Chain A
Amino acid sequence: MINTKNLIKVFRTDEVETTALNNVNLEINKGEFVAIMGPSGCGKSTLLNIIGLLDNPSEGELHFNGYQVENYTERQRTNLRKENIGFVFQSFNLIDELTVFENVELPLLYMKVSGAERKRRVNEALERMNIAHRAKHFPQQLSGGQQQRVAIARAVISNPKLILADEPTGNLDSANGEEVMNLLTQLNEEGTTIIMVTHSPSDADRSHRIIQLFDGHIVTENMRQKL
């Protein structure tokens, strides 16, 4: 599903030039659950953003679902992204001015789904994330765990084939983190490919495969056999 060849990402700010990714070669198949680990600043988020089509690599190739996308324009990337990819972030990234329902509904608005259909799908997703009773609340009125469940509901609302999660449990206590991980695992079992950045070895245990990044390189890839 995802294939990278000698992926390089260089950030230039004023005088400093940071090579965040250096020759990353990676293959991720449909239905996989991959965890990316590594020390802070090693380029995990950068890799996730490029895979998630939020950013373009400086060099190298990126294949997504059979398309070669590294030179896509912003418009093309957005079009591909909104149909195929859902995101979950450490800091939830919900819009404060919108209610839970409206936050989850957002991706469908940009996909031009009809109102009735939207309502049905949003309610279904909220139901599934066990947060339906908070539909009319605003993000600040929810606990961190609840907010992250809303974020996951938003990530799955468009039925994406791929979910990218950047430290989804980073801001949560262990009980809430556990719940979020359960949801992700469940999604994966239903066929969604998941790539997750994490610092937590126990979260990483849930994955099929762990990619270790160090200073922009992939150091090891541990294939884990799911029991």
Chain B
Amino acid sequence: MDINEKDKFGFEKTEDQPNYHSSGMPADWQIGNQSMGSVSAPPMGSSPCPSASMVESFAPSLWIPSAHAQNLGFCDNNVQSSTAASNSLRIGKLVPRPLRLDMGWNPSDSSSKGSGVFLQTGTGVLPPNLSHLPADSAFIERAARFSCFNGGNLGSMMNTFSAPESLSPYSNTPKGVPGAQIQKSEMNTTEAGMDASLPIDHASSSRSPMKEPRDKRTSHGAGVSSNESGEPEFSGDGQEEAPNLASAAADSSSTGLAAKKRKRPSQDMESDQVQTGGLQPSVETTKNNVETKQKPEQNSSTMATIKSNGKQAKDSPDAPKEDYVHVRARRGQATNSHSLAERVRREKISERMKLLQDLVPGCSKVTGKAVMLDEIINYVQSLQRQVEFLSMKLAAVNPRLDFNVEGLLSKDLLQPRGGPSPAIGFSQDVIHPQLHPSPHGLVQAGMAGIMNPSDALRRAINAQQTMNGYKEPVPQIPNAWDEELHHVMQMNFGTNPPLNTHELNDKPRERFTM
């Protein structure tokens, strides 16, 4: 598999990068592609081309002299923009398992895998073909960052990188940086990178493609744990930048954390928040973090494996708890378990209030729980009063019930359901008691016509009952018609137990015991 990938990548590389100034470039790229392929192969068989293109994108940046570290990032941006944004995402998601170190590349699987690979090498263990590359952590970090960015933000990223003062592009960068850092921490790369970027890249729309799969995984929180494990490493490193980026990180982390819902121990949450802040500073001041990055990068390879294992270990105990709602404390909120439960309860209540708002007519503009509750109470009371009033009206007109019931049924029931036969059968059934006192000739004539509708009605009722999930006993023919139709019913329905219509209250008992 690796060999096949390598061949494919190498082949593509040689074809696509004829302008490399090093003759050994294709060979180097092949080697790089091999590792890239090995990295990308297991997770995604369909993304060899994207990863290849990713690698290709790195090629020009890699070959730029180390003095132009920024240009590397620039090239990465260009390459990134040229490649589909999803490529980086795919690559990031590629390797769920840690890869064996090839030429010192980080086997960790993260969204910025390509960059992570290079980051690992940048630790000081650069492969021979890449030895010319700047081994500073800044370059690796930038590469990692850019690799995991979508193409849309690359231009802004590029500008930002050349002028690292701007914070807005860093909205994207945090995604890359945490991804890069996550790689170093070797969390579940795909999830880690995604989760890492998720909290940070809240505002960036370009990251949405990357974020969406991560969003799906937020509930699992694997990325969160991985993110956080990666963060502690860097929080120590980026301590000098912590105050600078705390503000920037706070916004993204708060939004990111708010988006995530994952229950974690309180201490982890606090540490995570700190780490998220720490990540941001390191991302933005990569140039200053050369020395600080060395340590995490060196440990990244080992940590990647350890972290991924740890994260998987964390996932397993979480799996049995999946019936619980995992909630994460938002930034700036109390992390007490009671307050978390309170928040969950409040959110449930507000969600149900929104449902009720749709049900109660004329409540779309109403905001606030108290006013909404008043409206709901008024509506329920009005409905109950309506039922009472209509029942009084029905009592007044009840003696004349015999005539239009079938018309009512066919008219009203057909509209919502569109099923004429059951309604007609039902109407016939209801008419039976009224027809009983009528001339028997009419009754006899009606019997033949009634039989089929009654059958259809009962079949429809049975079908609906089975659909509803509980079997309602077949309604008994009105007692007035027992002697006429009962035998017919038995013939048609066989073993359907007749239900005594007199005992209306018996039915619920039967039903509830089902």
Whether A associates with B in a native complex is no
